[in-house]
Structure 1
Amino acid sequence: MVREVSVFQPDWVQSPSLPRPPLNEERLSPEEAERIGAYLESGAVVMHTTARGIDVLADDAPVVPLTIRTDGEFVWTGPVTYYVQNYGVAPDPDFLAHVRERDYEPRIPTDDEIDAATALFADD
């Protein structure tokens, strides 16, 4: 089963005082952010789009890529890569452990794994 990766705090609920999701508090060192970012960029594309999302730490300019990628075990959206690369925001601990155990070496997912990742985002 493919697991989703996030850089946002779990269980966030939108409210007038917190209209945008808060990012995980943990930050990576610049060196590790670069290595994790390269791993994320190397994921197989599950769904590509040229659409852009809003950077929750900057202004309202749509700059955050929304393409979805996978390594066959995890699947992530463009914001994960963006916030790792631009702000050093740590993704979920399970994913960090997974990448570190692989010594930051990406793998090529199978077609079945890509299909499983796609199914997470497909309309019912």
Structure 2
Amino acid sequence: MSQPESPNTTGAGAPGTLDEQAQQEIIQRIGRTLVQALPPGWSQVSVRYRSVGAHRELDAELTAPNGTEIPLAPPAELGELFARLRHGMYRENRGTWTSATYRLSRPASYSVDFDGEHEPSWENHPPHAEFAAELRLYPRAVHNIPGWLAERAGVRVPETATAADQLRRAEVFDGTDAVGRPVNNRPALAADERDRVLEYLERAPVVLAARGYDSDRLDPTAGSSVPLTFHTDGSWIWPGAVCYYLRTHGLSPQPELVDHIRRRDFQLPYVGDEARELAVAAITEEQQS
């Protein structure tokens, strides 16, 4: 049994602003809401949520103690919670998941699986316009668009891609003048925002580091003091020099990176091993080119 969901927006602000703790809070609330709706004597229940664009589907199935599977009408609030979770788990250039399965077993054991790569098993196939809407709502780098989504959204995906194509690289300066001095044309950050941006940049994991330090190009008297490191948040890569020049000279990162950090509400996402390895591959590709 499928319960269609309202196409209304979640009202949760910009996509991708839920940190790990906020995600877990919503997942736990899903469990509590579900338990309150279950009849006595239940053994296990599964809830499936599927969404693309504004098209949403929600259904649930109860397993009785004797193993019988019974369709269950899930509370409408569950759809709202899943929608908030999907919206908040968006990752820039990587999109968000399109299906989730939540399983709860008596007395309090649960698991939740998210899938953004494979097409959901739709109860009612979404209109084609919703696949294009998905990419407008939750943009992905073209190389991160699954084939099924690209086909239905009318997007052409190249057959091959490099790691460097999937991550944006922040430049330390805007360029150099005729005699090689750094050129900067960036608006300064207010003091309070500068501190928040700097915290984000410095807390992001270091994925590559070389021994020693580089010279300070804005203050030759400072000697070798610029760290030879690279950080990533899974969407962008930036040299440790970006942090150094912001902290030491007040030089703002390039505006696109600052806008990205603002959209994330200055909350650094979890950066897993796969994202770190991709960043290392991207840095290596650029250094070899």
TM-score of the superposition, structure 2-length normalised?
Answer: 0.39
Which residue pairs with 2:70 in the alignment? none
Secondary structure of the corresponding residue to residue 65 of structure 1:
strand
Q: Distance in 1 between matches of 2:207 and 2:177?
A: 28
8 A Cα contact 1:37 1:84, kept in partner:
yes
Q: Are 1:2 and 2:167 counterparts?
A: yes
Give 2:220's match in structure 1, choosing from 59, 62, 76. Answer: 59
Which residue pairs with 1:43 in the alignment? 204
Give 1:105's match in structure 2, choosing from 267, 274, 277. Answer: 267
- Where in structure 2 are the equivalents of 1:1-124 lying within 5 Å? 1-9=166-174, 12=175, 15=178, 17=179, 19-60=180-221, 61-122=223-284, 124=288
Residue deviations 1:9-64 (CA, integer Å, cap 9, x gap) = 0xx3564x2x2332343211222211111101111111023321111211150111
Change (3 A) 1:94 1:25: closer
Q: Distance in 2 between matches of 1:85 and 1:3?
A: 22
Which structure has greater strand proportion?
Answer: 2
Change (3 A) 1:106 1:70: same
Farther off after superposition, 73-82 or 52-61? 52-61
Q: Which amino acid aligns with 1:35?
A: R
Q: Distance in 2 between matches of 1:81 and 1:95?
A: 12
Q: Distance in 1 between matches of 2:176 and 2:198?
A: 27
TM-superposed deviation, 1:120:
2.0
Which structure has greater helix proportion?
Answer: 2
Q: Distance in 1 between matches of 2:186 and 2:264?
A: 24
8 A Cα contact 2:177 2:183, kept in partner:
no
Q: Which amino acid aligns with 2:172?
A: V
Q: Distance in 2 between matches of 1:77 and 1:115?
A: 16
Q: Distance in 2 between matches of 1:49 and 1:38?
A: 22
Structure 1: segments with no counterpart, 5+ residues: none
Secondary structure of the corresponding residue to residue 85 of structure 1:
helix
Q: Distance in 2 between matches of 1:94 and 1:25?
A: 11
Q: Which amino acid aligns with 2:272?
A: T
| Percent of aligned pairs sharing the same letter | 32
Q: Distance in 1 between matches of 2:263 and 2:208?
A: 26
Change (3 A) 1:68 1:27: same
8 A Cα contact 2:212 2:228, kept in partner:
yes
Q: Which amino acid aligns with 2:217?
A: V
Rg larger in structure: 2
